Chains A and B, each alone.
Chain A
């Protein structure tokens, strides 16, 4: 899910940026620093949308750098266990398939794909029901439920399932 939240960050600024454009410099450095980053707590920072306030700067001993506490609003993407969302399939193999929902990667193991869907290899590997009516392949859109998340320093990785009511393929690229 995407959220609009307020975060705080202490920005260190070199004295050469002081002057009339201090605020602009601070904001552009903030965007460069935080956009595209990911933390386990807040998820992926997609875009800074506004500045709430910039606190008083504090000169650091010995260096001349100044630290400003900056409160900013941003759009973040944070997946949650139990959340249901839509995703695009990016890769299919006999272990299961990978899908992407925005910046996050989700793996759906073949144990969590309905039992009536069989893996078919070939140049377009896919999972298909025995009657051929439903097919999951690259670029399919699926609705899945996140059942687990793993967080490391720069990425969040999810495990999902489509073995539940109202989950599975939304549309098939071949038929559209």
Chain B
């Protein structure tokens, strides 16, 4: 992994380990943590004592910032975004922030324009449209 100084998410320099890892959108994390929370409640009498502060804060956070609540919609979002040759990290930033315009999307994920990929404005616009459709029909 490269040094701490070189880290820059805008250029996708996030270390090999994380670049290859599976990224999770906030809505996906919400599903996972909710499920785990329910499991804990069933297996122990005092679930709050087993839950770390990190877990609690994360759960609150992802619930507050989940764009999609319904598990089917979450699956569709990932499905649609994977069609556009994005890296995991880019996919999740887009899924989390749901930019509305092409300009905004490029500001949020500058790396979709660099690296010589054939990602033109039209393709990005189509992608954003697809995303907003899911939101509408959820």
List residues of A whose CB falls within 8 A of some B CB. Answer: 1-5, 35-38, 40-41, 44-47, 49, 75, 77-78, 80-86, 88, 100-103, 141, 143, 146, 149, 151, 164-166
Contact = CB atoms under 8 A, between A and B. Distances in A.
Interface string B90-113: 001100110100011001100000
Contacts of A166: 99, 103-104, 107-108
Given A3-B24, A85-B96, A80 B54 contact: no
A83 B93 contact: yes
Contact of A3 (B10, B18, B53): B18
Nearest to A143: B97
A78 B96 contact: no
The secondary structure that dominates the A interface is: strand
Contacts of A164: 107
Contacts of A78: 18
12 contacts: A1-B9, A2-B25, A4-B21, A36-B52, A80-B14, A82-B9, A83-B9, A83-B93, A102-B54, A149-B7, A151-B4, A165-B103
Nearest to A146: B9
A86 B57 contact: no
Contact of A103 (B21, B23, B36, B57): B57
Contacts of A44: 54, 58
Given A84-B108, A165-B107, A46 B22 contact: no
A47 B103 CA distance: 35
B11 interface: yes
Contact of A49 (B17, B26, B36, B92): B36
Interface stretch (B61-69, B72-80, B117-125, B126-134): B61-69
A146 B103 CA distance: 20
Contact of B29 (A36, A75, A88, A141): A75
A38 B18 CA distance: 16
